[in-house]
Structure 1
Amino acid sequence: MIPSDIKDTVKDVIVEGLIFVDGEFERGKFSITSGKFVDGIKGADYRGTLLKAPINLHVHTADSFIREEPRGSLPEVVGPNGLKWRMLRSANLSEMKSGMRQSIAFMRKRGTAAFFDFREPTNLSDHISTGKEGITEIVLTRPQEEKDVEPLVKMSSGFGLSSIDDNDFSWLLHLSKKAKEFGKLFAIHYSENVREDIGKLIKLRPDFAVHCIESTNEDIATLRKNRIPVTITPRSNIFYGKRPDYARFLEGGIRVMMGTDNVFVTEPDMWQEGEFLYRYQRGFHRISPEDILKIMIENPRAFMREKKIAMREEMYVLYTGIELTPYQIITKPNSYRRRILVTGKNG
């Protein structure tokens, strides 16, 4: 049965059943407004399985409008002179914004609480928020000229850059310094297609790095030492022929988060991403369903709290009338009736 993604904005709801907290399910009664167990209260509004909605740490909504099949290698598709950039440069602005709005609405409907949008440069107005009620939008911009740096860092949550090898390193250092100066984020793609210089990455002091799949074990140890979280995008990496072992990051003590990457390649559905990660890893280096839920739900919230990024509203996913295991939630995300509950409380 395909779930009904019903969206309710509520003052409070008491749920009795299995509640996902601190990386595991606990049985009890839970208030979604207080975010606490309230076992002393009689009765409950719902019974079932409750967990906070996932957060997408890496998505590109601006390429949602692209309909051409992306053939070729990763550089040929998303590199500086690849298909994506040719399409963006010639894009109709209204068509591009329409695609972005559709993608944001899709994420909200599927139960994504927040997303970090790496917003490509076409002109300044494209970096204005197109967010919807009930979903938190964190826009990371990408200036190409000095005149755009300060306006973009002021209007956005910071900068989201492509790979180190795609850019002049002095320019990256400048953008990192400017982001820190304004108390904003600096994130960058790293070692997605080939291994890049870990020393340069450390000098940039990123708040998080995306991909890192060509990192050596020594690089991973350096990431951990410098407390740099890693955002993975499994379906996108596999699409381009990569076959990384994401369990290395967990075993290396990295805080792992997850995103869906380019919308024209991968539908921005975090439930599909989690299912894919489990099935892909199971055959050679298993990642548990519990760990995948932490990657999707708890790790990004811990990151946002540390960076003082507030949720517009908190979003919960409630599976009504059934108590599910992590394995069921991860491997059968579309098999159970799902209700999306949105509160007015920041998470």
Structure 2
Amino acid sequence: MFTVSNGIILKGQNLVASKENIVVDDGKIIEIGKDLKEGKIIDAEGAVVCPSFINGHMHIGDSIIKDEGYGLSLSEMVKPPNGVKHIALANATDEELTLAMQESMWDMVNSGTTHFIDYREGGIKGVKLLKKASKDIPIKPIILGRDDSFYGDNPDLKQVKIAIRRLLKVADGIAPSGFGEITEDVARLIVEECKKQDKISSIHVAESESNQIESLEKFEKTEIEKGVSNNFNQLVHITNPKNDDLDLILKSNSNVVVCPRANATLNVGVCRLNEMLKLGIKPLLGTDNVMLNSPNMLRELEFTLKLMSVYYRDYISPKDLLKMATTNVCSFNVNNIIQKTSISEGNFAEFVIFKSFSKNPYLNICNRCETKNILYIINKKCIV
């Protein structure tokens, strides 16, 4: 048992700032209050206590080729099966992949991340490799698998269904690359099988303007329309919405993940985050490919804060932005796969104690803090 005392706690799903103490026992928050002090005392005087980060979208496998292919197009970099990334993955040994992924996971742990959602290449073998690599690291990967049988204009749907069911025995869900690589029949199978098992179905949509144009020309529907109509749990990027795309998302049950640094690196646009927030959409924030960016959520927060300000000539709420890296995940939880919760009594003890530089606790984290300013990282496995 221990108590975190005298800190400014960003409490509950709405990150309400309150100076209170937190009592933790056996990995759970058992009480929050003004005058509590039990067990070991962790003095957080003058510090900010924030829920630990969840990285909403990653491709951790391409940790093996950091910064390779810079300046190439989106398709040249990441489109299967001949993108720079896929060729590198095919030629890498299991040991090389494992060591690179472990390095990235430790980077995340040390910068305050305790959960990440990964688009896992390599089929069942790829899923098992990440599980093994993460075994002794205090971080929880939510692993969304894929299989080569999904791709092509005329896939064998019987084989696709078999591949999906096999993957779902070991993975937390399924995540094909995008609608440019799969048919809608495959998309429907993925969503149906994931729904049967209460697992996550996720897909990239509208990452580039050309993807949207191609989808409209071929199908008279945007990629976002296809994602919503096929009932995917999670839509990633939404960088180039058209017409009523954002309204469709708002009316659907789909969760959204945005990746501003990756979009900037690939020169595909700026996500319409301010508009999403004004509509009531509650996105998650992700760092995307490790080959493009570090998986450090503090860097993602600061970049997004300032990019949205200059792009829209309007300020984004730092509290709403911080929720995207923390508590927005509370509203996206399929069968408790993502056991990531707010700082509330009864929840898992998963939070970060940051050194404070300013009176605004939200800007303090989004605008000021770096990895070196983390005093403690606490999760249900350990205190780092």
TM over 0.5: yes
* 1:273 counterpart residue number: 300
Contact 2:354–2:369 under 8 Å retained in 1: no
| 1:128-178 alpha-carbon deviations (Å, 9 max, x no partner) | 113244211111001223343222111010111211122122112111111
Structure-2 separation of matches of 1:140 and 1:328: 33
The one of 246, 249, 263 aligned to 2:273: 246
Matching residue's letter, 2:317 = S
Hey, what does 2:168 align to over in structure 1? 153
Label 1:255 to 1:36 Cα distance change in 2 as closer, same or farther (>3 A): farther
* Contact 1:16-1:30 within 8 A present in 2 as well: no
Q: Is the partner of 2:112 in helix, strand or coil? A: coil
Task: Report what 1:308 is aligned to.
Answer: 336
Distance in 2 between residues matched to 1:336 and 1:63, nearest whole Å: 25
Deviations 1:285-306 (A, max 9, x none): 32121111111111023323x6
CA deviations 1:213-256 (Å, max 9, x no partner) are 11125110010101322100010001111332321211122121
Contact 2:225 2:245 in 1 (8 A): no
Q: Which moved more, 1:224-233 or 1:308-317?
A: 308-317
1:45 aligned to 42, 46, 49, which one?
42
2:317 counterpart of 1:291: no
In 2 relative to 1, CA 83–30 (structure 1 residues): closer, same or farther, beyond 3 Å?
same
Instruction: Name the CA shift for 1:205/1:27 in 2 (closer, same or farther; >3 Å).
Output: same
Residue type matched to 1:96 in 2? L
Question: In 2 relative to 1, CA 139–290 (structure 1 residues): closer, same or farther, beyond 3 Å?
Answer: same
CA deviation profile, 1:88-123 (whole Å, cap 9, x unmatched): 2222222112111111121112110100111012x5
Greater RCO, CA 8 A, separation 6+: 1
The TM-score normalised by the length of structure 2 is 0.80
* Structure 1 residue 314, shift from structure 2 partner: 3.9
Q: 1:79 is aligned with what amino acid?
A: K
Which letter does structure 1 place at the counterpart of 2:198? G
TM-score, length-normalised on structure 1?
0.88
Map 1:178-327; keep pairs closer than 5 Å: 178-193=193-208, 194-195=211-212, 196-216=222-242, 218-244=244-270, 245-285=272-312, 286-304=315-333, 307-311=335-339, 314-320=349-355, 324-325=359-360, 326-327=362-363
Question: Could you tell me how far 1:323 is from its partner in structure 2?
Answer: 6.7
CA distance in 2, matches of 1:38, 1:323: 23
Secondary structure in 1 aligned to 2:70? Answer: coil
Q: CA deviation at 1:55?
A: 0.4
Residue 70 (structure 1) shift: 3.1
The separation in 2 between residues aligned to 1:155 and 1:139, in whole angstroms, is 9
Paired positions, count: 334
Alignment correspondent of 1:329: 365
2:42 partner letter: D
Matches within 5 A, 1:16-55: 16-21=6-11, 22-32=14-24, 33-34=28-29, 36-41=31-36, 45-46=42-43, 47=45, 48-55=47-54
Equivalent residue number for residue 102 of structure 2: 101
1:52-201 correspondence to structure 2 within 5 Å: 52-67=51-66, 68-80=68-80, 81-121=82-122, 124-128=124-128, 129=131, 130-131=133-134, 132-145=136-149, 146=159, 147-193=162-208, 194-195=211-212, 196-201=222-227
Q: Displacement of 1:77 after TM fit?
A: 0.8
Shift in CA distance, 76/15, structure 1 to aligned 2, threshold 3 Å: same
Question: How far apart, CA to CA, are the structure 1 residues paired with 2:99 and 2:30?
Answer: 35
User: Which ranges of structure 2 fall in alignment gaps of 5 or more residues?
Assistant: 150-158, 213-221, 341-347
